[in-house]
Amino acid sequence: MSEDPMVEEFFSEVNDKYYPQVMEGLEKLEAADIEEGIEILARPLHTIKGVTGFMAGFEEASHFTHKIEDFLKKVQSGEVESTGDNVTLLSRAG
């Protein structure tokens, strides 16, 4: 693991706080509670996107979470249908 305290803190936060939130959101999606699942997933993904955007070497993670967040917003707004395939895509990306 990295010797950078910021990186260590980031991974600790991801494991302790954000991972459980993502898992809860994915469970909601799998239970066909799409709106609630998206709402739950959006919070940790937004934070991870923002934090990784400021961390050297994490640009790809920031770019990836940004793409997921954009897709979540499109499904949430109805711009993209919440079909089974799209929900599966959200589940696999989360």
pLDDT at 1 exceeding the cut of 60: no
pLDDT digits (tens, 9 = 90+) for 18-55: 999 999 999 998 898 988 999 999 999 999 998 999 88
Question: Could you tell me where the DSSP H helices lie in the chain?
Answer: 5-13, 19-30, 34-53, 59-77, 84-93
pLDDT digits (tens, 9 = 90+) for 56-78: 889 999 999 999 889 988 988 99
Residue 85 — very low, low, confident or very high, per pLDDT cuts 50/70/90? confident
User: What pLDDT is attached to residue 2?
Assistant: 58
The residues spanned by each domain of the chain are: 5-93
Q: Which CATH class is domain 5-93?
A: mainly alpha
Residues with Cβ within 8 Å of 41's Cβ and at least 6 positions away in sequence, in order, are: 21, 22, 25, 26, 29, 72, 90, 94
> Per residue in 33-56, is it b (16+ CB within 10 Å) or e — as a string?
ebeebbebbbebbebbbebbeeee
